[in-house]
Amino acid sequence: DTEVTQTPKHLVMGMTNKKSLKCEQHMGHRAMYWYKQKAKKPPELMFVYSYEKLSINESVPSRFSPECPNSSLLNLHLHALQPEDSALYLCASSQDIGRMDEQFFGPGTRLTVL
Amino acid sequence: ILNVEQSPQSLHVQEGDSTNFTCSFPSSNFYALHWYRWETAKSPEALFVMTLNGDEKKKGRISATLNTKEGYSYLYIKGSQPEDSATYLCAFIKGNAGNMLTFGGGTRLMVKP
């Protein structure tokens, strides 16, 4: 199984809602990532988890809260988001966090904040 | 802020044409360069990981070269097919930044049958 799955595919939420994005991989990868992609822009790294521990947080606002409950699962909890947070959220995983480790991406969750 | 640029932004070619596009990145503090292919409504897919100056990698009709001294990489597609239509993204890793990718803006390739 060389797939990274993400649920839901689409999510519409109000600014007062709390929701979560889910990402799963069963490739035995020990690094997992969240990226944000705004329209017509490249993906931007948000968080990196290595061996289930948060290793990088790219100055992401606290309304985004990542969680790695086990080595196969990565969640992104969303609370009090703003309309400008509307974007495609991509999850990825890699064997480890070395420079040669290609990242396997999920198809993304399209988030709209009203 | 790292400057990773790709050109052209978009490209229309006929089936059978060969094509190439460029990724420019900072030449100092180079660590690695990744190329990804992203078809609409699908997941980005890794094509190549390149680390050494002069590296050349090939996968079928697609190949890539790397020049770390001048800070550029070329991606070549020989005999383009409609199924090659996708956005091609390069991603730069600086210094000892583990696996932190900084993506370029991508080149959108459309191959007409």
A109 contacts A19 by C-beta, under 8 angstroms: no
Q: Is B15 on the interface with A (CB under 8 A)?
A: no
Average pLDDT, chain A: 94
Mark yes or no for CB contact A108/B103 under 8 Å.
Answer: no
Number of Cβ atoms within 10 Å of the Cβ of A32: 26
Over residues A27-49, the pLDDT tens digits come to 999 999 999 999 989 999 999 99
What distance in Å separates residue B100's CA from the closest CA in chain A? 7
Q: Tens digit of pLDDT per residue, chain B (113 long)? A: 678 999 999 999 999 999 999 999 999 889 999 999 999 989 999 999 999 999 999 999 999 999 999 999 999 999 999 999 999 999 999 887 778 999 999 999 999 99
Are B43 and A42 within 8 A, CB to CB?
no
How near does any CA of chain B get to the CA of A77, in Å? 22
Residue A49 forms contact with B (CB below 8 Å): no
Which of B42, B45, B103 is nearest residue A43 as measured by Cβ atoms? Answer: B103
The model's confidence at residue A73, banded by pLDDT at 50, 70 and 90, is very high
CA A12, CA A105: separation in Å to the nearest integer? Answer: 22
Band (pLDDT 50/70/90 cuts) for residue A1 is: low
Nearest alpha-carbon partner for B80 in B112, B102, B57: B112
Element (H, E) at A66: strand A64-70
Residue of A nearest to B41 (CA): A107
CA distance A56 to A38: 20
Q: Which helix (H) or strand (E) holds A18?
A: strand A18-25
Report pLDDT for B22: 98
> Quick one: closest CA in B to A90, which residue?
B43
**Which chain A residues touch B46 with a CB distance below 8 Å?**
102-104
Give the pLDDT confidence score for residue B1 in this predicted structure.
64
